Structure 1
Amino acid sequence: MTTASVRLPAASPFPALTWSRTDGGSLNPAAMEGWRLLVIYRGAHCPLCRSYLKTLERLQAGFAEAGIAVAALSSDPGERASKEASEEGWTFPVGYDLSQAEMRQLGLYVSSPRSPEETDRNFAEPGLFVINPEGAIQIVDVSNAPFARPDLEGLLNGLKFIIAKDYPIRGTA
């Protein structure tokens, strides 16, 4: 039996958590300004994550034009995360060493590796957080499987609408 995660509700402040980045900097989405998109991915062992982040890379200019900073984060250790980010040529910040306690704090599902060849640690299943300029969670999407994630192009178009129309945070009733 596992410890249950507490889901972060829409409109709540994104927690002040900091992770190391593959480029040597630090990633603290709560301290960033403006609109932010944080994509939690399972790690280098996941080919679906790699494909998803390739799409994020392809759309990064569109997110930037809309005024949305993007970043990705996994539980991978620094060496593994850095190797993958370098091989893929990702230009957005990639954080690493997401701990199991932080996974729980963010309301993510946690999985154990199926074999040592997959990975050597428990890892977060996919999650996505859009944080507005006030630091509140505008959109949260958490999945327990790598096959169910928001379409990034649809998300980008939706965020353009939200920003242009000053659309409120939904799901708070």
Structure 2
Amino acid sequence: MTHSIKLTTGNTFPTTEATLLDGSFINLGQAHSGADWQMIVVYRGKHCPLCVRYLNLLEQYKTALMDIGVSVSAVSADSKQQLEDTMEKLTITYPIAYGLTEQQMKQLGLYISAPRSEQETDHNFAEPGLFIINEVGELQAVNISNTPFLRPELDVVVRGISFVRSQSDYPIRGTVAY
């Protein structure tokens, strides 16, 4: 049995950098585009059609998220070439990064899978994760899955964040560590 790290909501989100296609770096936990909260979507990679569909669907919610002060970024462990190939299937305008390392995956508490074959991919990859970081850099909400078909519905996520942001005294949930 392996031991994995579990991030605790309410704690500072770890600095996690990844590379954009233009070669610049992005701090995944840092809001951008005028927002003060950040949503990070970790996807499995080029080999996952469910990921491509989810990333394209996320684009449809980008404006609603920005309206409530939440910027969006996505990342995978894919190589630059794999991300370039994936971009041919994506119609997105939010930042998407590549090169998430296995150490970073572990630091974020993500499930990690080995490829089933070389046709799938050539490296271990993260299973889906979704992180919401608030204006002070704390992990507000987290959803981690071990399989691509268990992901939060984006309309529910947007409504939930909107509710939390409208309540001045709504606490971060799940902060009792064990």
Same structural fold, with TM-score higher than 0.5 when normalized by the shorter chain: yes
Equivalent residue number for residue 131 of structure 2: 129
Equivalent residue number for residue 155 of structure 1: 157
Equivalent residue number for residue 170 of structure 1: 173
Equivalent residue number for residue 107 of structure 1: 109
Q: 1:138 aligns with which of 137, 140, 146?
A: 140
Q: TM-score, normalised by structure 2?
A: 0.91
Contact kept in structure 2, 1:18 and 1:27, CA below 8 Å? yes
Q: Give the fraction of aligned pairs with identical amino acids, expressed as a percent.
A: 42
Q: 1:45 aligns with which of 47, 50, 74?
A: 47
In structure 2, what residue type is equivalent to 1:154? V
Contact kept in structure 2, 1:14 and 1:29, CA below 8 Å? no
Q: For residues 56 and 139 of structure 2, what CA distance do their matches in structure 1 show?
A: 24
Q: TM-score, normalised by structure 1?
A: 0.94
Equivalent residue number for residue 11 of structure 1: 10
- Runs (4 or more) in structure 1 with deviation over 3 Å come to 30-33
Instruction: Tell me by how many angstroms 1:86 deviates.
Output: 4.4
- How many pairs align? 172
Q: For residues 106 and 26 of structure 2, what CA distance do their matches in structure 1 show?
A: 18
Instruction: Tell me by how many angstroms 1:58 deviates.
Output: 1.1
Contact kept in structure 1, 2:18 and 2:98, CA below 8 Å? yes
Q: For residues 134 and 160 of structure 1, what CA distance do their matches in structure 2 show?
A: 17
| CA RMSD across the alignment | 1.4
The structure whose residues are more often helix, as a share, is: 1
Query: Tell me, what secondary structure is at the counterpart of 1:82?
Result: helix
Equivalent residue number for residue 22 of structure 1: 21
Contact kept in structure 2, 1:70 and 1:93, CA below 8 Å? yes
In structure 2, what residue type is equivalent to 1:53? L
1:41-120 correspondence runs (5 A) = 41-120=43-122
Contact kept in structure 2, 1:14 and 1:135, CA below 8 Å? yes
